[in-house]
Structure 1
Amino acid sequence: MRAFPPVLAAVLLLAGCTSTESPAEQVSSPFVACAAAAGAASPPAAGLPDISVDCFAGGDAVSLRGLHGPAVINIWATFCGPCREELPLIQRLADATAGKLTVLGLNTGDTRSAAASFGTDHGVSMPTLFDPDRKAITALGVVNLPSTIFVDARGQVYTHRDTMDAAELTELVRQHAGLSVTL
């Protein structure tokens, strides 16, 4: 019976060594805050599901249904080759339309470290939502990656379910977000 207290002490000592940091605190974010995703004067995107998704950089979660257009949400993952090729193009769109178009990434099915590493290595810094358990893409009905959701100023939603080059992205932004942009 005397062996029990040392075993118990060892278990308690090891338990004290467990990190209390959340995953969000352990990996720094290359992505900017998602604050710009809410609060526009246009109608909300009623065609999107009523789900909130955490911002990769922390802070308040973003309600997809509450998102106001014009907006673009690019759904990506680091394990998706076409996503890895397309995401820098989406970052160019975010840079070219700053203040005119809300551009969000939605990283799904990844770890924080994989997404952060990719963002850092490829210069991707746009606001990004984090969906590690794929609840958001399930609610969105997205099967293919990459997929891109366009929301116009009236709150109408169009989902493109394939990769895009610069010309196709430019045309889809014109058609479904009402903006002319050169990429």
Structure 2
Amino acid sequence: MRRALTAAAAALSLALLASCTDEPADSHPSGEESTWSVACASGTNAIEGVGEVELDCLGDEAATTVGANGKPLVVVLWATWCGPCREEAPEIQAFYEANSDQVDVLGVDTADLRDSARWFAEDFGLTYPSVFDPEEAVRIGLGVPALPGIALVAADGTVLDLIVKPGVTADSLAAAASTAFDLELV
């Protein structure tokens, strides 16, 4: 039994390592500057495990307190160098477009480069706010082992669920958030 668990852990580690490249790219192939700019709003309720963390908004570089703001919050941990994050980006955007009237979404660009992250957000047409977290304070505080990761946070800052398995779709995220938040989401 122990040998099977060790083998399973090793296989999971290899799968996680294979899903992401070694380093973030430091510029966009076009050589131009990104024009992506989605402002962030500071949260009023600190996220359980993360506490009072202030990070720069990726869109306008304003200091932003990470937390819930009176509505349930979906915290999406992503990075440009993370292959599964690229696959999930359109799905998270679709979820946000369909449910932003009931649920806030906050992206957390993790262990990345700011310019690359802004291009990622622009290339994928992200319209939800994201903060820049080069030191991984949010990922570490939430206990998410690797990217991608999603935390479902109640309006009071309580973490209700963590999704740490790659492959999230708009539908699977809506189902998980509906259950966690006791809402009807699409």
- TM-score tier, shorter chain, comes to 0.7 to 0.9
RMSD (CA atoms): 2.3
**Could you tell me how far apart the structure 1 residues matched to 2:137 and 2:47 are?**
18
Corresponding residue for residue 7 of structure 1: none
The reply on whether 1:38 has 2:38 as its aligned counterpart is: no
Corresponding residue for residue 77 of structure 2: 75
Corresponding residue for residue 96 of structure 1: 98
Distance apart, 1:103 and its partner CA: 0.5
**Could you tell me how far apart the structure 2 residues matched to 1:92 and 1:31 are?**
19
Deviations, residues 126-169 of structure 1 (Å, cap 9, x unaligned)? 10011122233222222221100001245431211122123321
Distance 1:29 1:56, change over 3 A: farther
The reply on whether 1:170 has 2:174 as its aligned counterpart is: yes
Corresponding residue for residue 61 of structure 1: 64
Distance 1:149 1:67, change over 3 A: farther
Secondary structure of the structure 2 residue equivalent to 1:54: strand
Identical residues among aligned pairs (%)? 33
Higher relative strand content: 2
Number of equivalent positions = 151
TM-score by length of 1: 0.72
Distance 1:144 1:30, change over 3 A: same
- Equivalent residues in 2 for 1:1-183 (5 A)? 28=34, 30-35=36-41, 37-39=42-44, 44=45, 47-50=48-51, 51-57=53-59, 58-64=61-67, 67-157=69-159, 158-163=161-166, 164-182=168-186
Corresponding residue for residue 18 of structure 2: none
Residues 71 and 177 in structure 1, CA contact (< 8 A), matched pair in contact too: no
Residues 69 and 151 in structure 1, CA contact (< 8 A), matched pair in contact too: no
TM-score by length of 2: 0.71
Residues 76 and 105 in structure 1, CA contact (< 8 A), matched pair in contact too: yes
Distance apart, 1:170 and its partner CA: 1.5
For structure 1, list consecutive stretches of 5 or more residues without a partner in the other structure: 1-26
Deviations, residues 37-61 of structure 1 (Å, cap 9, x unaligned)? 535xxxx355232122221122232
* Letter matched to residue 96 of structure 1: A
For structure 2, list consecutive stretches of 5 or more residues without a partner in the other structure: 1-32
Secondary structure of the structure 2 residue equivalent to 1:99: coil
Distance 1:145 1:166, change over 3 A: same
* Letter matched to residue 174 of structure 2: T
Distance 1:99 1:31, change over 3 A: farther
